[in-house]
Amino acid sequence: MHSPGQIIGGEALPQGAIAAVWDWWRDAGVDFAFVDAPTAWLSEAAKDVAAAEQPVIAPPRPVAPIAAPRPRFGGASESWPKDFNDFSAWWMTEPSLDAGQVEGRLAPRGTIGARIMVLADHPEPDDTDQLLSGPQGRMLVALLRALGIADDETYVASALPRHMPLPDWETLAADGLGAVIAHHVLLARPQRLLVFGNNVSSLLGHDPANSDGFLPNIHHEGPRFPAFVAPGLSALAARPRGKARLWQALLDWTDTDRTGTK
């Protein structure tokens, strides 16, 4: 098709001829001009609008792997020793008591049914062959002897099998350390329990807000016995006044019978 005034063959068509050509093609049903080459009908801006109208599909969110449950301190309770005489060997070799590490562990010492069970947080830094054999242990021996309690009447134990400068007590509690301590006390069956440090006593249900005091309700599937919470041994070594207060409190405590009465 041609526009009016278009030159064909070197000559301009007359105005009437051009109109006739348009009429002829219109009668033939051709309303538009057609070309063989494709035409980009959408402008770049129109393409951008079309792309923006497409739904945005977010990439799949990665699924975090499910963390394996933390192993229980001491393993399954069904595997714990049922007899007092088996506890020390288990304490020294059971991998789950210290993430598999056994070097540096120290066993509790004393006999079942002792007049008093002493429970510290962990061995002293310089302990080698015997639990609480350093300055803290010597202070403890002097304290107990002053109370009239001999070495062979004392059962000495720790909440942890080896010295740890900064134990994560919160995680240890969540992992079940308190249950292991309670089982240990049950097997030892002492007449009295003396706990040093709020970190350890809190594992037995003591309120850490109370720095020390009586715990008359300590019992684990067996006979009740008096229990007392004292400041940690390392804290006592650095506070002479704390020793004096503890001494008076322990005098009152050791004068009570097993029912808690004078």
Q: Does 203 reside within a domain?
A: yes
Q: Which residues of the chain have pLDDT under 70?
A: 1-18, 22, 24-25, 28-56, 64, 67-68, 207-223, 256-262
Q: Count, in order, helices (H) and strands (E) of the chain.
A: 9, 7
Q: Number of folded domains in the chain?
A: 1
Q: What are the DSSP E strand ranges found in the chain?
A: 7-8, 11-12, 116-120, 154-158, 193-196, 213-215, 227-230
pLDDT score at 248: 87
pLDDT score at 55: 66
**Dihedral (C-alpha) 150, 245, 206, 262: value to the nearest 10 degrees?**
70
What CATH number did the domain enclosing 234 receive? Answer: 3.40.470.10
Q: Does 243 reside within a domain?
A: yes
Is the separation of the CB atoms in 169 and 199 below 8 Å? Answer: yes
Element (H, E) at 19: helix 15-27
pLDDT score at 12: 59
- Report CA-CA distances (Å) from 230 to 120, 138, 146, 181: 10, 16, 16, 17
- Edge to edge, the sheet with strand 213-215 lists 154-158, 116-120, 193-196, 227-230, 213-215
Q: Does 21 reside within a domain?
A: no
Q: Report which residue type is found at 106.
A: L
Q: Does 4 reside within a domain?
A: no
pTM: 0.70
Q: Quick one: three-class SS letters along 154-212?
A: EEEEECCCCCCCCCCHHHHHHCCHHHHHHHHHHHHCCCCEEEECHHHHHCCCCCCCCCC
Q: Does 49 reside within a domain?
A: no
pLDDT for 175-218, tens place per residue?
999 999 999 999 999 999 999 988 998 888 776 665 556 554 55
Which two structure tokens, joined as six digits, stand for 234? 């390392």
Q: Does 141 reside within a domain?
A: yes
Q: Does 5 reside within a domain?
A: no
Q: Does 35 reside within a domain?
A: no
**Distance in angstroms (rounded) separating the CA atoms of residues 143 and 252:** 14
- Residue 137's domain spans which residues? 77-254
